Amino acid sequence: MSEPRIMLTAMAINEALDIAMTIDPKVFLLGEDIAEPSGGVYKVTNGLSTKHGLHRVRKTPISEQAIIGAAIGAAIAGFRPVAEIMIMDFLAVCLDQVTNHAAKIRYMSGGQTTVPMVIRTSAGAGRGFGAQHSELLEAFAVHSPGMKVAVPSTPADAKGLLLTAIFDDDPVLFVEQMMMYWDKTYAGHVPEGDVRVPFGKAATRREGSDVTLISYGRQMYDCLAAADALAVDGVSCEVIDLRTLVPWDEAAVMASVGRTSRAVVVHEAVTRCGFGAELSSRIHEELFGQLSAPVQRVGGANTPVPYASNLEADFLPQVSDILLAVRRTQG
């Protein structure tokens, strides 16, 4: 057995991009500032243009519609573009290309043309960036039939899901929470080589019997922390990490909640009309009568993201919010 290869999230993503470009000449990257000498504003694409050439790691103007449009056309024509939208809030300046085109083209063409592209985007509050650089907007894509959505929580998943996304024949929105890129807290073992993580398979991060915490991305760690705290009080939490939202692993969720009879869904996005509402609705629809308490939702506050660090921290779902939600399920 080899030593674990501990990597940071940004490096794992970088490795996935490198592998994809190495094994398939049809993979290329485009986005703002992604090429050398800087290698991206978060250095996630560091070294890739030097290795694979500026024709395959393409710096663009600040033109998000042009970025996504070029990816769409190239994808239809047989490439596998990976477009970077620097920060998720900027999806709003190019949403037409994403939802009206990338997502719908397979359907509108009756299956003749496919759009195998990935939109990588960094997201999330906690950096003091304020209201326009901190949002999680995965619900927009989930509500747009035709888009797949992945939100990894570990470096291994970041790599494995990204490889799957790149070689998937549908457009994928790939959400990277920027707080995780270079923070050692989120480091983890990453298998070498072209190891893919399938879409639609949740990971059970902790087994438990009293309540199921369902989450994805960075908030999975808050769930684990809550589970630790609750274990002290004798409450046993199962923690399910969805990994992908379209498709999402209904079977795993229903099996777990079927056993525990209690569920709390946790995400960073604004709670109202967030993906948690979909999860909660589905669980109630499927497991009505088997639940001991209503499914609880824990998410971002129903407000824009504030700047002041104390407010920003309060905006984010807290471990304490999860504890309270779990308590509500114990009723």
Ligand X SMILES: Cc1ncc(C[n+]2csc(CCOP(=O)(O)OP(=O)(O)O)c2C)c(N)n1
Among 101, 133, 143, 189, the active-site one is 133
Taking CB within 5 to 8 Å according to partner kind, which of ligand X, another protein, its own copies, none is near residue 63?
another protein
| 292 close to 329: Cβ distance less than 8 angstroms | yes
What SS3 class is residue 233? coil
Give the nearer residue to its own copies in terms of CB position, either 50 or 63. Answer: 63
Smallest gap from residue 84 Cβ to ligand X (A): 10
Taking CB within 5 to 8 Å according to partner kind, which of another protein, ligand X, its own copies, none is near residue 72?
another protein
Our finding on whether 93 is near ligand X (CB under 6 A) is: yes
Task: Please identify which residue in 7, 12, 32, 136 interacts with ligand X, judged by CB under 6 A.
Answer: 32
Q: Is 249 exposed, middle or buried (0-12, 13-18, 19+ CB in 10 A)?
A: buried
Rg (CA), the chain: 19
Smallest gap from residue 103 Cβ to its own copies (A): 7
Give the nearer residue to ligand X in terms of CB position, either 121 or 329. Answer: 121
Phi, psi angle pair for 94, to nearest 5°: -135, 20
For residues 38, 44, 49, 52, the Cα torsion angle rounded to the nearest 10 degrees is 170
Taking CB within 5 to 8 Å according to partner kind, which of its own copies, another protein, ligand X, none is near residue 38?
another protein
1: CB partners within 8 A, 6+ apart? none
Strands (E), 232-319: 237-241, 244-246, 263-270, 296-300
Q: Which amino acid is at 271?
A: T
Q: Which amino acid is at 245?
A: L
Taking CB within 5 to 8 Å according to partner kind, which of ligand X, another protein, its own copies, none is near residue 170?
another protein
Taking CB within 5 to 8 Å according to partner kind, which of its own copies, ligand X, another protein, none is near residue 140?
its own copies
Give the nearer residue to its own copies in terms of CB position, either 49 or 215. Answer: 215
Strands (E), the chain: 6-7, 27-31, 57-59, 80-87, 118-123, 148-150, 172-177, 188-189, 203-206, 211-215, 237-241, 244-246, 263-270, 296-300
Give the nearer residue to ligand X in terms of CB position, either 33 or 278. Answer: 33
Smallest gap from residue 222 Cβ to its own copies (A): 20
The rounded distance, in Å, linking the Cα atoms of 105 and 112 is 9
Q: For this structure, is 133 an active site residue?
A: yes
| Residues present in the chain in total | 331
Smallest gap from residue 112 Cβ to another protein (A): 5
Q: List binders of ligand X among 68-87 (CB under 6 A).
A: 86
User: What pairing do the DSSP bridges indicate for beta strands 27-31 and 57-59?
Assistant: parallel
The rounded distance, in Å, linking the Cα atoms of 66 and 291 is 48
Taking CB within 5 to 8 Å according to partner kind, which of its own copies, another protein, ligand X, none is near residue 99?
its own copies
Our finding on whether 28 is near ligand X (CB under 6 A) is: no
Name the site residues for its own copies (rule: CB under 8 A): 89-90, 92-93, 95-96, 98-100, 103-104, 107-108, 130-132, 137, 139-140, 142-146, 269-270, 272-278, 280-281, 284-285, 288, 291, 293-297, 301-304, 306
Give the nearer residue to ligand X in terms of CB position, either 93 or 225. Answer: 93
Smallest gap from residue 93 Cβ to ligand X (A): 5
Could you tell me the maximum CA-CA distance found in the chain, to the nearest angstrom? 59
Q: Number of residues interacting with ligand X: please give it, by CB under 6 A.
A: 6
| 91 close to 137: Cβ distance less than 8 angstroms | yes
The rounded distance, in Å, linking the Cα atoms of 51 and 22 is 10
Residues near ligand X (CB under 6 A): 32, 62, 64, 86, 90, 93
Catalytic residue ranges: 133
